[in-house]
A = this chain, B = another copy of it.
Amino acid sequence: MLDKIDLNQTMEKHSYKQELKDLEKRLAFLQTKIQELGIPVICAFEGWSASGKGTLIGRVLYPLDPRHFNVYTMDKINEDSLMRPFLWSFWIKTPSRGRIAIFDKSWNRMILPGAAEKWKLSAAVKSNYFSDVNAFEKQLIDDGTLIIKLFLHISKDEQKKRFKDLEKNPDANWRVNQHDWEQNKEYDNVLKHFNEMIHQTNFSWSPWHIIESNDSKFATIKIYKTIISRVEEEIVRRQVRAEAVETPFVTAEEEDSLRPPKVEAFKVNILSAVDLSKTVKEGEYKHKLSYLQGKIAEQGFKMYTHRKSVAIVYEGWDAAGKGGNIKRLTEQLDPRAYEVVPIAAPSKEELSHHYLWRFYNKMPKDGHLAIFDRSWYGRVMVERIEGFTPEADWRRAYKEINDMEAHLSNHGVIIFKFWLHIDQDEQLARFESRKNDPSKQYKITDEDWRNREKWDEYVTAVDEMLLLTNTRNAPWTVVESNDKKYARIKTLEIVTNELDKQLK
């Protein structure tokens, strides 16, 4: 691919100046459209050392309003990034709707020699690398993000010449180091790696644009034209989609046939098969609780020394006992080693990002435990049932969530997911008792009663969720919780047993 590119293309100074002026105006105008339409835009610059990334990024930003873009340099990796799944660094920087994020070097380059070591990628991440990064792009694009990937290409001779010029300049010679010279010496080899990177991550929905950069004027104009045409395409695409809503070309039946097959076809009744009569005796409870809490406290310490992170998701019916269960799990842990993350309705800022953004922001660092009191599964439960999210979007979420959990798992995060299950009678009894106890009244709201009326809808949604997101590395456990004490022992047992295996 890259070896077939004609790098001798140049641009004449006079026509460059004229053309650039028009393109600058056009791009400035498009930025206001991006804001108006609320399009999140990511522009990733990749390419050879000394291909001019810094200068060319500066030229592209020249006509733009600096209040609405951010620039991120990704080759300085800090401690925080190294202690998380590598996509975390990119996820937390994804732009909100209407903003532009420029990445100087991107998530696509771990294939290059040395990159995997620099970013401390685990073996599992390395072997799943392309599926992880492609899933990342797909998730953002499906959510409406425009991703523009530019590869700045220069020839071996041109690179050598630029290094030499830099070295001659006393103000700039610090910019050339041994790694750069190695890249030049190994040019043909590195080219193969770049080819592989492009080949593996080039899709119709997320294409690479090769920018011939031996001549920086030519490169500037091509970058402008590429960005402008991608933005214009995106604007047209949105207009078409917006118009399509008003003038449907397909009948309701036809539309139905276009949808992904519904899961009902495979329906199993997971929740209805749960035996809620399980209990534990008081003496046994006390004994086991104390034993298991001691055990998890030790494991918490091991987690820290082994630099292993753990994520525990708690989902379940209102009043199923999530709070008390979490309390028992954490009671004997060193409070510096864990964090409980309560998930409520998203804020305005959270709503202006991809729905997974706020969860990536809260992922545990290596050596730490994060407990999610409700989680990303709200997408396929409350958002589905309350109609906050269109069907196509929440259906897609099963795969997106599996992809995210796979990425965490590849990095080495140990994941537990608990559905705390009670029946309708038990819930009613707990609601009533909260209503009548002044010290617990704050725990019960009108929303709880409204949710209760939708019990059957929730059963369908939860059954589907359990079926479609129960993966090897992030399995679900339904916890029989009519007896709260039984439930606490069960979650503690599952967590401690698994940690026993994983923290050897």
Contacts and interface: CB of A to CB of B under 8 A. Distances in A.
A336 B54 contact: yes
A261 interface: no
Interface in A40-76: 54, 57-58, 61-62, 65-73
A73 B340 contact: no
B335 A71 contact: yes
Contact of A54 (B68, B104, B334): B334
A335 B442 contact: no
A326 B67 contact: yes
Contact of A78 (B79, B340, B371): B79
A348 B346 CA distance: 11
Interface residues of A, number: 43
A102 interface: yes
Contacts of A66: 326-327, 330, 335, 338, 340, 371
A32 interface: yes
Contact of A327 (B36, B65, B79): B65
A80 interface: yes
A342 interface: yes
Contact of A336 (B62, B65, B71, B334): B71
Nearest to A171: B301
A439 interface: yes
A331 B78 contact: no
A167 interface: no
A323 interface: yes
Given A58-B335, A335-B102, A348-B348, A342 B67 contact: yes
Contact of A32 (B72, B330, B439): B439
A326 B79 CA distance: 33
Interface string A121-137: 00000000000000000
A203 interface: no
Contacts of A35: 442
Contact of A29 (B54, B80, B334, B439): B439
Nearest to A72: B336
A339 to B, nearest CB: 7
A32 B336 contact: no
A493 interface: no
A65 B29 contact: no
A61 B335 contact: yes
A483 interface: no
Nearest to A341: B67
A273 B441 CA distance: 60
A247 interface: no
18 contacts: A29-B439, A36-B442, A57-B335, A57-B336, A65-B323, A66-B335, A66-B340, A67-B323, A67-B326, A67-B373, A68-B342, A72-B336, A78-B79, A79-B79, A102-B335, A347-B348, A347-B349, A349-B349
Interface of A: 29, 32, 35-36, 54, 57-58, 61-62, 65-73, 78-80, 102, 104, 323, 326-327, 330-332, 334-336, 338-340, 342, 347-349, 371, 373, 439, 442
